């Protein structure tokens, strides 16, 4: 897989898809999350859950991650140039990228080259990656934050956060993991966990977004609990760039009718 991935990089088999993130009332597309897709000529679609760990282990994630960062930033810039409303581009960072000392400079350089203001970029780090070395994470987050770039914690609720560290993280948003969202309307315990995450986030001055929202029941439950934003198949699957653009234009066109 690692050899095939090296080949994939140079033969343009990797693509980015974009999933819309919406305000909880569904009126605004507030952002897009860039998600890697790999279509191999023989293997077909290989899931990121399968190839990202391989890329991490082989070190290829550094080059792939840089390509993702550049491509996503250029894409948002192109959309805004073509008249799409301003929104945030969220880019996943792997633990190995996060440990790279030159990461903040690298991101700033790409933003400068593309001429996209830093406030339009959000980097996502999983809770487990952040908590792996929380003291180190604080320093890197402060560096990223000082450049005007937002940070969010991905898959929140699955990674044993230390709350004393969490409050020291320069984090803008918590992404509530889809495992809690899935049974939100039937499982009282999951509902209580989501309620606790939202109220804690609000106390710490952080926003919340729920991942994996698939049904109107989940959406209504999240609304009642005070969640700020949602992402999931209910509104849209991750889409290729042209389809994403169509989704956004269509969304606003139908709202104005
Ligand atoms: P993630 O960052 O938590 O991304 C959310 C995943 O949930 C995506 O899976 C997305 O397609 C899926 N999803 C979104 N809405 C729904 C829904 O309503 N229901 C269900 N069942 N699933 C939903 P995907 O694209 O397969 O990516 C899996 C993971 O791979 C991501 O989880 C992320 O950790 C990693 N990944 C993807 N792209 C990148 C990348 O560019 N860099 C790095 N480092 N990791 C990436
Ligand atoms: Mg993510
Ligand atoms: Mg997630």
pLDDT of residue 77: 98
- Asked if residue 257 has pLDDT above 60, the reply is no
pLDDT of residue 185: 87
Q: Which two tokens stand for residue 85?
A: 């409303």
Q: Give yes or no for residue 48 CB within 6 A of ligand 1.
A: yes
- Asked if residue 256 has pLDDT above 70, the reply is no
The pTM of this model reads 0.97
Spatial distance between the Cα atoms of 89 and 19, rounded to a whole number of angstroms: 10
Read off the pLDDT of each residue in 227-254 and give the average, rounded to a whole number.
97
Q: Which two tokens stand for residue 46?
A: 């290989």
Measured from the alpha carbon of residue 45, the closest ligand is: 1
Tens of pLDDT along 128-171?
999 988 899 999 999 999 999 999 999 999 988 888 888 899 99
CA angle 186, 27, 210 (to 5 degrees): 35
Spatial distance between the Cα atoms of 179 and 189, rounded to a whole number of angstroms: 12
Spatial distance between the Cα atoms of 191 and 60, rounded to a whole number of angstroms: 39
* Residue matched to tokens 């192109």: 78
Mutate to test the pocket of ligand 1, among 14, 16, 22, 35 (most ligand atoms within 8 A of CB): 35
- Asked if residue 184 has pLDDT above 60, the reply is yes
The rounded mean pLDDT for the chain is 95
Q: How far is the CA of 77 from the centre of ligand 3 (A)?
A: 24
Q: Is 23 left (phi over 0), alpha (psi -120 to 50) or beta?
A: beta
Q: Which two tokens stand for residue 232?
A: 């999931």
What percentage of the chain carries pLDDT values higher than 90? 90
Q: Report the SS3 class of residue 236.
A: coil
pLDDT of residue 162: 86
* Residue matched to tokens 């440990």: 99
pLDDT of residue 145: 97
Tens of pLDDT along 82-131?
999 999 999 999 999 999 999 999 999 999 999 999 999 999 999 999 99
Report the atom number in ligand 1 closest to the C-alpha of 91.
41
Q: How far is the CA of 211 from the centre of ligand 2 (A)?
A: 9
Those residues whose C-beta lies under 8 Å from the C-beta of residue 250, and which sit 6 or more positions away, are none
Q: Atom 2 (ligand 1): residue with closest C-alpha?
A: 92
- Kindly compute the dihedral angle of the four CA atoms of residues 32, 36, 42, 43, in this order, to the nearest 10 degrees: -110
């Amino acid at each position: 897989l690692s050899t095939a991935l090296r080949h994939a990089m140079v033969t343009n088999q990797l693509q980015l898809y974009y999933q819309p993130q919406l305000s909880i009332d569904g009126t605004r597309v507030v952002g897009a999350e860039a998600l890697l897709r790999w279509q191999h000529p023989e293997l077909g679609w290989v899931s990121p859950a399968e190839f990202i760990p391989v890329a991490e282990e082989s070190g290829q994630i550094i080059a792939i991650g840089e390509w993702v960062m550049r491509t996503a930033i250029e894409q948002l810039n192109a959309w805004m140039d073509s008249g799409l409303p301003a929104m945030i581009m969220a880019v996943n960072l792997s633990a190995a990228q996060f440990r790279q000392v030159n990461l903040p400079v690298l991101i700033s350089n790409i933003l400068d080259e593309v001429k996209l203001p830093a406030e339009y970029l959000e980097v996502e780090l999983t809770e487990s990656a952040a908590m792996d070395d929380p003291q180190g994470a604080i320093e890197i987050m402060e560096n990223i934050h000082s450049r005007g770039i937002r940070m969010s914690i991905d898959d929140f609720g699955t990674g044993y956060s230390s709350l004393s560290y969490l409050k020291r993280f320069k984090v803008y948003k918590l992404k509530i993991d889809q495992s809690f969202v899935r049974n939100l309307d039937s499982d009282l315990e999951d509902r209580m966990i989501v309620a606790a995450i939202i109220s804690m986030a609000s106390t710490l001055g952080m926003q919340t977004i729920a991942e994996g929202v698939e049904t109107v029941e989940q959406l209504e439950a999240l609304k009642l609990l005070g969640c700020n934003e949602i992402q999931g198949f209910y509104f849209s699957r991750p889409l290729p760039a042209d389809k994403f653009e169509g989704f956004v234009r269509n969304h606003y066109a139908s709202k104005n009718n």
